[in-house]
Every structure is written in C-alpha cells, then in structure tokens.
Structure 1
C-alpha cells in the first residue's frame, strides 16, 4: 500500500487528523521544554526542512483552546515522555506570525504585506477586543490595526501589545512563534530597501521578545541568522542554534533511520543507496541529515524518480547570481567543490548579507545555511577558531553548481563562435578533431589567467582544469564529472561517468607545454602516461559504453587534442 505523503501540508493538525505519513519531530518540544532557562530560541534551517510544520506542532501543543487536541500527540515521543511535558499542554495563549511570501520588490509593497499580516493576527485574537480586558486607548489601538488606519508605531509594537492583552485576558503569559522572519529581509537586500526593513524587524522583535514580562517563550525560525548588529543587537536573551550545533540537530530534516523506515514502509528499501546519493549529505551538528522535501517528493511520485525536487520548489536566483558573480575569483574553491573534494574554511554563523560581495566567509556561510553546502567541523587547537570542511552535499544540490557554470559560460560565449553543445557532443563521442575546434574557440574567447587569480601563472594546469570542469558540469545530471580521483593504477585529471549503464564515458588527461616542450611533445607525454595505466577502470565498472580517452595539451591559448584507445589507457 503506498504511503499517504503530506506533500506541501505544513499544518500539523490537518496532517495528523487526515492520518497522513508523519515523521515524529516532537523531540523539538522535549528539547525546548527542557531548556527552561532559555526564553527565546532562534532556529535557522534551510527552506523546506520542516520549520513551518514544527511551529504548527508547537502551536497545537501549547495553545489554550476549547477542544482537546491530545489525540494528535498520544503516539508521539513528547506524550510518552510523561507529565513534566504534558503539564504544558494547551496551557498558553499563542501568537503565531509567519512572514512567508513577504518579498515585494518595493518597500511600499512589503509594508502593505506586513501590515496585512499583523491585521490578520489581531483579527484572529479578536476575542480579546470583545472580552472587556482592554482600556479605551487599547481598544482604539486594536481597532486601528483591524481597520488599517494604525500608525507605523503600532505595527512595530504589535507583538508586545498583543502579548500584554492576552496575558491579562487569560492569566498566562504568551508563547510567540515567528516563522520565516528573514524572508522580507532577503527581499530588502535584493531590491534595495534593506535599511527600512531591518529597522522594522529590529523594532517588532525587540518589543515582542526582549524583557517582555508577558512572554512565556519565543521561537523564531528562518533560513539565516542575520548579523546581530543588523537586527538582534537588543535581543540579549536570544539563544541561537544553527545547523552547526548538536542541540536540536535531529528536529529538522530526516535522519538516516527515519529515511530507512519510510522507504521500508513504502516497499522501496532497495532504493536507499540512490536516495542517499541524491538527498543525503547534510551535517547538522554531527548528525547525518536528509532533505525531507526531496525524500517525500520522491515517495509521493506515482513513478518515483530521482530528480531535483528541492531545487525546483522555488527560485534559486540569489544563489545563482552570487555564484556567477564570484565564480572567477573563487575558481580554485569551486573547482574543489565540483570535483567532490571540498575545502576547509572558517564560517561566521552571523550572516551579514550586505558583506557577501566583500567577504568570502559571508559567502560560504550564506551557502551553508541556505542548504547549498555541507559543513563538517574540523578539530583544531584549543586557541584556534573552529573550522569546517565544506563540500557539495549531494547530487541534487550539485546541479545548482553545474547549471550555474553552464549559464555563465553560455552567457560569455554568446557573441563568439564556440558552441557548448557541439563541444559536449564531441567529448562524449570521442571526436578529437571536433573537441579541438570547439574547445579551442572556448579557450581563445574565454580563458584568462586573470580569471583565476595570481597563482595561475605558477600552476597553469589548475587554470585549465577549473576551466574544463566548468564546461563539463553542463553534462550533469546525466553524467557525473570527477577530478583527480583514484582509478586503475593512477589518477586521471578528469573522469566523466554515466549515471546509467550503456551511456558513454570519458577519460581526460590534461597536459601543459612547459619550457621548450611543444604541444606535440606534451601530447606524447600524455599518451605515454595513460598507456599502460587502466584509467578507464572506474568507467567500465559504472557500465560506460563506449569508453573514450582524450589527451589535451595546452600552450597559452593554443591547444591540441589526441585520442587514445580505451583498451590501452
């Protein structure tokens, strides 16, 4: 029987009452309640990793309401954990405010969206207005928000005011749950109204969450931890748990055992290896995490297919634009990512969006916390700043990098005579003459040592290798491109492996004409190197058919290509 997958449903009550598949994340409630001394939590995670559903679960558990919702929790970990947790059940007034889809291109449009959000929130708690707990001035302020005539100051203090009203009306302090707080802030940076939107969020969050005597607990989710000086400077009671920390590490996304259980229930346990390659690869505080949206989307397909579900859910324009803008300057690191090795760096958990163009640390942090890079902590000395090893998490996310390189190259070559698709056709066909013509046009019109920094003159092979990898990235997802990996008895420069048996594979050996060595001599050296070494072993193991071996020799912007026989390479 196929699983009943709740794809796109982020309302916890609806999901549970319909009997849809649910991976128990009530451990979030347990960890939150256990941290009694922590007043406000900020839990940034990548998009579609379960943030909204988790906040909906918190609301159903904590919110005081006339109907009993215990049936939603009785088979979950939090209910089984005992009375210490159940005593908080349906006890508090809850303020739930989401800023999802507040991303207008102008501040005026954004402000209109924000005021409508606050207006809907106040309308939801209209019983406070009708209950006689408000003074005459408070009633006028409340009604001004409801009818849209309120001054800006009332919107900035809306969370603080509403929590006061609810505390007075119910006798319990309010829970404040805020979802996707940073979506309007992203839009502000993209569209040029960052200052205005930061001022609003600094005000509304500070009034609602800092030293608020009417606040029981607060939970804020988003993608990034916006730099403290930008928005959180006044919130000294804020505890931040990014995906780098162990605390709350299993509360968002799916763990390996959770995915194994889902696949087993769906009768697809044999697909675990492929699902792991496509959707695994995240490291949340040392725990292996899968992308939940992609796993559920795969299971929801009538004919399950491994494809980039997560990448297709919303625009990746900001990430693509950022990668394109910095591709030349960050060439060696991007080359390391494309070949599957990665690199080590120090991350800044406070992401300053206005510094992404100037700071490599800010750029890498943006990519990590947005879900486009995996960060694994590396041990260092007691006085050293913690470092992380960054890599592309899985095949799905790798497509954003390969697609970005393809777009970048095609844009730069639009006015030149080179044809990327003809080049790729020649490579997969082992056509040395066609590759020489098309790759020569690419090198002549695009390649420059200046693209990859001052080290290029000392390591010319790396320049060509980065360039070729960028070109070959356009072969994904049908093929996997690997660089400097063990194969046979040596390390070929580049391997192109098919993802399906029966498709062509390619070995590339790159040589540079140094000193008095000519292009022909460099080709001879390359042929001699691959001859006798089974560079094509991994391709044959992957079912590649046919297997092509090409040697490419470079001398500045001149090049020659020669074919080697696969059975002797």
Structure 2
C-alpha cells in the first residue's frame, strides 16, 4: 500500500518515511529570479510542506543530506547554483495568541525569539562565536523588531546571506478579524497625539532593512489571504505577489495527471468494487476545480483532500465523509473571519447568490484595508483567496470549485436558517425519509417532510419574496443534515440543460442505496396561480427529458433513478409528483 503522510508538513520526515511525494521541484529554478516571493493559497494546499522543502534545499547545513532528501526528484538532477548556500530563517505565526494587544505582542515577541534562538544555534559555526551567549543575555528586553536587528548585525559580520521563510503570515490577524476585533493597532500605534508603527509593522520594517542591506537576500512568504498587505505597504513594500501568476498556477495542488499517477500506484484489487474511472470521476467532482491564474486551463485538486481520500480508499473503500473533519473545522473558522469583515447578513446574501447562479463576477482585490467593512468586491475576493471561489476561464468570472465547497455553502445556509431565522429541522423524520428513499424508492415520507416544513416549520417565515431558489435552499439545507446523498445543484447535462437537484448516493453507502433522484422544483406565486396547470405540464415534460438524458449518459451501476417534480405554492401548499 502507498504510505500517505497525511498532515505531514516536514519534508525531511516525509522523505525519511518514504511517503508518497508528488515532485514539484521543477518550480525551484523558476522561482529563483523572484527574490521576494509572496504566494497565497487556500488552507490544506501544501504550503507548509513547500516551505519545509525550500528550507531543506537552501539550508547550508543540509548540504550533506541533499542527495538523500532529493533522490530521484527533478532538482537532484538539475540543481541550481544556490542550493545549500543560505542561512534559512523560518518563521511560523500560526501560534500567536492574546486576549489584548499587550498579550498579543508578548506572544509575537516570544514566537520570534524561539525561531531566532534556534537559528543562532543551528548556524553558530557560521556566526561570531559568542552570538548565542550575547543574544540570550539581552533577549528578555527585546521586541521582535529588536531581535531581527540583532540577527542582522550578527550575519552582517559574515559573508553569508539569509533566506527568510514565513508561513501563516496572516494567521493571527485573521483571528482578530474573525473575533470582530480592530487589528489596526498591530500596524499603527497612536500615542500622545501622534502616530508610530505598531509592533507588527515595526517588525516588518526591520525585515525590509535587512533586505535593503542585502543580508536578507531572499524571502518566501505565504498565508491564506492578502489581508495585511495594504497595512504593511508603507514599511514592507518589497514583496512580489505571485499568487495569480500563471507560471506558478500548478506549484501547489495536484493536477489531473498527478492524481492519475497516484491512482496508478494503488493495487488493482482495490478497484474491484469501484472502477478506477469512477474513482477519478468522483475525485474530480469532490476535490478538483481550483484555477488560480488567468491564461491557463489546468485546474487543480486540493492536495490534503486527495490524500485523505486515498488513505481511506486503499484501506477500506470510499470514506463516509468526503471531507476530513480537520479540513471542515478549518473552513468553519474561515467562516468566522468572513463574517468578521462583512457581516452575517451580507455573507448570507452572497452565498445565496453564488449557489443559485453558480457564477459571480467581480474585480479581484489584491490588497485589503481594515479601515472599513468589506463591500462586494472585497468579500468575493476574500472568498477566492480562501478557496471558496475560483477563477473560471471567462474574465472577471468566478465559480464554486467543487462539490465539497458547494456542500460547505449549503451547510452555512442551513446554519443561518436554524440560528438566525429560528427554523427547526426534524432530523428524525429526515432520516426516516432518506431510509425509505434510499432502500425502497418510497417517497411518501418525503412529501410529509416537505408539507410539514412549509406548513409548520415556516409558519412565520416571510413568503413575500419567495422563489424557486428559496425552495431549493430549504430542501438542500434540510438534507445537508445527512451524508447519505451527495446533493448536486444545477447538474449540467449535454445540450446545456441543468437538473435543479440531483441526489446521488454517497459511494461509501453503495450497498445500502438503491435509488438516486432527479428533482425539478417549481414555485407558484400569486401572480402565476392561474398558470399553475400549464407550468405543471411543462415541468413534467422537462423532467422526463432530463431523466432520459441522465440515465443514458450518467446512470451509475446497480442504481435505479427516479424523477420527481416538487411544486410549492405561495399558500405554502406543496405537491410531490413521481414522474418516472
């Protein structure tokens, strides 16, 4: 079986344990002309592992390990002149904590101190002999900026250069934003009627001094959003933002060819129950679709999600949950950050628009400011950077990348209805309904569920602006409480036709689920009440057409498909019609 280093962010450990590694080292020579490299990718895309790889490649202390660590990789056969020539200063700001700015600064200073202390110990043979002793004698009185100043002075006495690697540069700022706290004091401190740099900006100003002096020759900085760039622009305007540069679109994330190469290494017997072609199709549906750069056609898979799936699949088949709980927790935290800058109502409206239209148009914002609440462009840009939207091949147009992200949106809408609108969901009836639908194709309880939902659960809900999209929101929000079916909104068919909702059984429950469902939704408002019969007849013919196209082209083995029409009136009356 493949050894999967799921969650492993240390390159040396990954290679030592002989875990699966997709070679991306051909990007190293392409990176070298850009000395100050800023690169954003969503969470769980392999950023930390890439920084660890860069550290191993450029670290002067790792020279003797080069052939072992990079054996059979592109860069071993094609090394650059800069390999193993730098003192590498690695910083990770994911652990910064503090209830107030004083504690936050102490945590920041402490974190920088730990990394710099390790740096001095690691490179003591290249630095003045008493550097560590002098540093430890005074560090208690130093801020993070002072600590950087100390390092610059010490390395300036040598002929060596520093490569600065910064991971999670924006983590603690995102946390503040999610909590609704003002992050401005990190960058600007107002005292005695004047202004001076806050401790974070002061720290980065020192890094710029290091860059200007030539001691800190190279930088690679990464995170999940450009949320700090505007605030740092006056004191740290040295980075080149390569996030959407098409030369580096595929540097992190797996291409389809790379996923195919992983599937090729899984023993053939593992595909007896689930054909390899079907597994690739499902992986594309679940985890593919990320496009970060204009001018390229190669979409990418989320690396951690693919590795999670492969680890489970080669052990026992499809995982019950297509999204690892660690990743799901990350995205739930991201929701808090988005709400913190936009407001819950604005986010809810935006998500409704995205899931209903499947596309959204805006100009990508490359720098954010804390001075005002996010508007349309800023909010949607943040969704892009966080991996919840991705570029389409049309200019200024963005789409939901895959089923996993779409499911996260549905779950958010379900939570919004439950918490903000006080709408209760009957989970007992839901599970009974799904059991009947999955095992025997019975839909009587589905009709009861829909009827009770509209007549009782939504008794106080305002129907004045209700539409078919709201029927869809309600229905999908309900069914997100169960993982038995993968619910696909606006499933595209040949000829440009789209199914309103497609319920496809989760392959993890393949032996249990006998039926998939095509659902067409219609809402009859007061103005169209007289046309109800005509709308009904046209919808029935439409559903029959969708059913024939779907079963001819996409019918899954050992599954029957049923086609349903759900009609809801402004009076909250509902009708469920089994077409096929």
Partners of 2:406 and 2:96 in 1: how far apart? 28
Partners of 1:354 and 1:234 in 2: how far apart? 18
Q: Which residue of 2 aligns with 1:525?
A: 534
Return the match for 1:68 from 40, 64, 87. 64
TM-score (norm 1): 0.82
Return the match for 1:49 from 38, 45, 50. 45
Partners of 1:377 and 1:490 in 2: how far apart? 20
Q: Which residue of 1 aligns with 2:385?
A: 369
Q: Which residue of 1 aligns with 2:161?
A: 173
- Native 8 Å contact 1:277 1:395 kept in 2: yes
Q: Which residue of 1 aligns with 2:226?
A: 225
The structural deviation recorded for 1:566 is: 1.6
Partners of 2:502 and 2:534 in 1: how far apart? 19
Return the match for 2:456 from 441, 465, 472. 441
Q: Which residue of 2 aligns with 1:200?
A: 199
Q: Which residue of 1 aligns with 2:374?
A: 358
Partners of 2:265 and 2:361 in 1: how far apart? 39
- Native 8 Å contact 2:358 2:399 kept in 1: yes
Partners of 1:495 and 1:527 in 2: how far apart? 19
Partners of 2:491 and 2:62 in 1: how far apart? 64
Partners of 1:131 and 1:563 in 2: how far apart? 77
Secondary structure at the counterpart of residue 101 of structure 1 = coil
Q: Which residue of 1 aligns with 2:171?
A: 183
Asked whether 1:348 is paired with 2:365, we answer: yes
Partners of 1:297 and 1:513 in 2: how far apart? 46
Partners of 2:98 and 2:549 in 1: how far apart? 50
Partners of 2:254 and 2:167 in 1: how far apart? 20
Q: Which residue of 2 aligns with 1:452?
A: none
Partners of 1:156 and 1:437 in 2: how far apart? 62
TM-superposition CA deviations, 1:105-164 (whole Å, max 9, x none): 44344333322222222322345779883899x97555222xxx2243xx2242343133
TM-superposition CA deviations, 1:52-95 (whole Å, max 9, x none): 1111111111111276122122422223225xx1x212212111
Specify every segment of 5 or more residues in structure 1 that has no aligned partner in the other structure, as ranges. 380-386, 450-455
Secondary structure at the counterpart of residue 390 of structure 1 = strand
- Native 8 Å contact 1:488 1:536 kept in 2: no
- Native 8 Å contact 1:507 1:536 kept in 2: no
Matches within 5 A, 1:250-329: 250-267=250-267, 269-270=276-277, 271-285=279-293, 286=296, 287-301=298-312, 302-306=315-319, 307-310=321-324, 312-313=326-327, 314-321=329-336, 322=338, 329=346
Return the match for 2:78 from 78, 81, 90. 81
Secondary structure at the counterpart of residue 511 of structure 1 = strand
Asked whether 1:133 is paired with 2:128, we answer: yes
Partners of 2:136 and 2:28 in 1: how far apart? 32
The structural deviation recorded for 1:249 is: 1.7
TM-superposition CA deviations, 1:513-541 (whole Å, max 9, x none): 443x54xx454233322344414446655
Partners of 2:563 and 2:124 in 1: how far apart? 76
Secondary structure at the counterpart of residue 315 of structure 1 = helix
The structural deviation recorded for 1:237 is: 2.2
Partners of 1:246 and 1:310 in 2: how far apart? 29
TM-superposition CA deviations, 1:155-192 (whole Å, max 9, x none): 224234313312424x1121111111111111222342
Secondary structure at the counterpart of residue 289 of structure 1 = coil
Q: Which residue of 2 aligns with 1:98?
A: 92
Partners of 2:364 and 2:431 in 1: how far apart? 36
- Native 8 Å contact 2:563 2:579 kept in 1: yes
Secondary structure at the counterpart of residue 212 of structure 2 = coil
The structural deviation recorded for 1:260 is: 0.8
Q: Which moved more, 1:72-81 or 1:482-491?
A: 482-491
Secondary structure at the counterpart of residue 111 of structure 1 = helix
Q: Which residue of 1 aligns with 2:27?
A: 28
Q: 1:522 to 1:24 in 2, by over 3 A?
A: same
The structural deviation recorded for 1:471 is: 4.6
Q: 1:430 to 1:494 in 2, by over 3 A?
A: farther
The structural deviation recorded for 1:196 is: 3.4
TM-score (norm 2): 0.80
Q: Which residue of 1 aligns with 2:440?
A: none
Secondary structure at the counterpart of residue 559 of structure 1 = coil
Q: 1:537 to 1:98 in 2, by over 3 A?
A: same
Q: 1:337 to 1:5 in 2, by over 3 A?
A: same
Q: Which residue of 2 aligns with 1:407?
A: 415
- Native 8 Å contact 2:430 2:479 kept in 1: no
What is the aligned-residue RMSD (CA, Å)?
A: 3.5
Q: Which residue of 1 aligns with 2:190?
A: none
Secondary structure at the counterpart of residue 527 of structure 1 = helix
Partners of 1:91 and 1:559 in 2: how far apart? 72
- Native 8 Å contact 1:28 1:248 kept in 2: yes
Secondary structure at the counterpart of residue 217 of structure 2 = strand
Asked whether 1:509 is paired with 2:521, we answer: yes
Q: Number of matched residues?
A: 529
Q: Which residue of 2 aligns with 1:10?
A: 9
Q: Which residue of 2 aligns with 1:383?
A: none
Specify every segment of 5 or more residues in structure 2 that has no aligned partner in the other structure, as ranges. 188-197, 438-442, 508-512
